[in-house]
Amino acid sequence: MFADLHLHTQFSDGTYSPEELVSQARLHGLSAIALTDHDTVEGCERTARACEAAGIEFVPGTELTAEQDGNELHILGYFFDIENPRLLTEVAKFQAVRQNRIREMVARLNQAHVPLSAESVFALANCRAPGRPHVARALVAAGLCATLDEAFERFLKKNRPAFVPKFKMSAAQAIELIHHAGGAAVMAHPGLNRTDEVIPGMVEAGLDGIECFHTKHSTATSEHYLEIAERFGLLVTGGSDCHGLSKGKPLIGSIKLPYQHVARLRLRAEQRRAPIAVSP
Ligand code: AMP
Ligand code: FE
Ligand code: FE
Ligand code: ZN
């Protein structure tokens, strides 16, 4: 039995609907999947329903954008209550940040004489957590760029004219928020950040796990983070980080995490929710 614990849908910057994602998961023989859209839980309900119909276990999840020591980090949350009021209030704040950032990016494009409208980006994104990939797609759809890569290279990458930084919560705040909502917190794709020095601070803040297996990790990178997991007593997770068809071929099916890791993660979340036993 295998799982994929890192997947996106059109509720953030993926292209699949929840139903398409689940049918792909079935095609690849996955027993359990987690939905981890950026800064939202909007797609969880529909994905859970589609999973139920397909006989696949659904793990509620999200990928929170955070930072530590000036580095952007992504914190994955799993097995939390998707209706937790504080979690919903917090993600709504960061969704507003993302929406305002789209307006700012479009204003900068307009200053650079690129005639894109914010409305066209919002219409294309059609979700609460829009981001740079939606701006890139809107630029391509309007014939203003030939490819998504061109859009990032010319306008959207850091230090390009339409790049706007995002206001982010700290990694410790993201971890605390996931714990508050009854979940387990995991550092996403550490191999993409290559900032291992932030790990001890996150462990201190209560980090539960680390994503050792990821499409962009080489075997050596996965082994490196398995060692770090062991050293810090962190749980091991993995996922494809599939964004559907938006980045070439779909990645779902490329990471097959042994199911035992899902069971351990669920147990950790349950233990965090359990009242502390007081001895008489
Ligand atoms: P945002 O959260 O709005 O800053 O957008 C980040 C997303 O943009 C990530 O999910 C990346 O996959 C995607 N992205 C970042 N840089 C590039 C790039 N150079 N080409 C294509 N996609 C990118
Ligand atoms: Fe993404
Ligand atoms: Fe990420
Ligand atoms: Zn992701």
Contact present, 260 and 8 (Cβ < 8 Å): no
For a substitution probing ligand 1, which of 13, 124, 145 has the most ligand atoms within 8 Å of its CB?
Answer: 13
Residues above pLDDT 70, as percent of the chain: 97
Q: Using a 6 Å cutoff on CB, does residue 128 contact ligand 1?
A: no
- 6-27 residue pLDDT tens: 999 999 999 999 999 999 999 9
- Could you tell me the pLDDT band of residue 279, with boundaries at 50, 70 and 90? low
Q: Using a 6 Å cutoff on CB, does residue 216 contact ligand 1?
A: no
- Could you tell me the pLDDT band of residue 171, with boundaries at 50, 70 and 90? very high
Classify 192 as helix, strand or coil. Answer: helix
- 86-122 residue pLDDT tens: 999 999 999 999 999 999 999 999 999 999 999 999 9
Contact present, 199 and 190 (Cβ < 8 Å): yes
| 280 C-alpha to ligand 2 centroid (Å) | 49
> What distance in Å separates the CA atoms of residue 133 and residue 101, rounded to the nearest whole number?
13
- 49-63 residue pLDDT tens: 999 999 999 999 999
Q: What mean pLDDT, rounded, does the chain reach?
A: 95
- 259-278 residue pLDDT tens: 999 999 999 999 999 866 66
Q: Where would I find the H helices in the chain?
A: 18-27, 44-54, 85-111, 118-125, 132-141, 148-151, 171-180, 190-193, 199-204, 219-232, 260-273
Question: Given this model, what pLDDT does residue 276 score?
Answer: 67
- 146-170 residue pLDDT tens: 999 999 999 999 999 999 999 899 9
Question: Given this model, what pLDDT does residue 69 score?
Answer: 85
Using a CB cutoff of 8 Å and minimum separation of 24, what contacts does 132-138 make? 132/105, 132/156, 133/13, 133/243, 133/246, 134/13, 134/102, 135/102, 135/105, 135/106, 135/109, 135/162, 137/246
> Residues 6 or more apart from 107 whose CB is under 8 A from it?
none
- 228-261 residue pLDDT tens: 999 999 999 999 999 998 767 789 999 999 999 9
Read off the pTM.
0.94
Q: Whose CA is nearest to atom 19 of ligand 1?
A: 152
For a substitution probing ligand 1, which of 132, 245, 246, 251 has the most ligand atoms within 8 Å of its CB?
Answer: 132
Question: Given this model, what pLDDT does residue 249 score?
Answer: 77
Contact present, 122 and 212 (Cβ < 8 Å): no
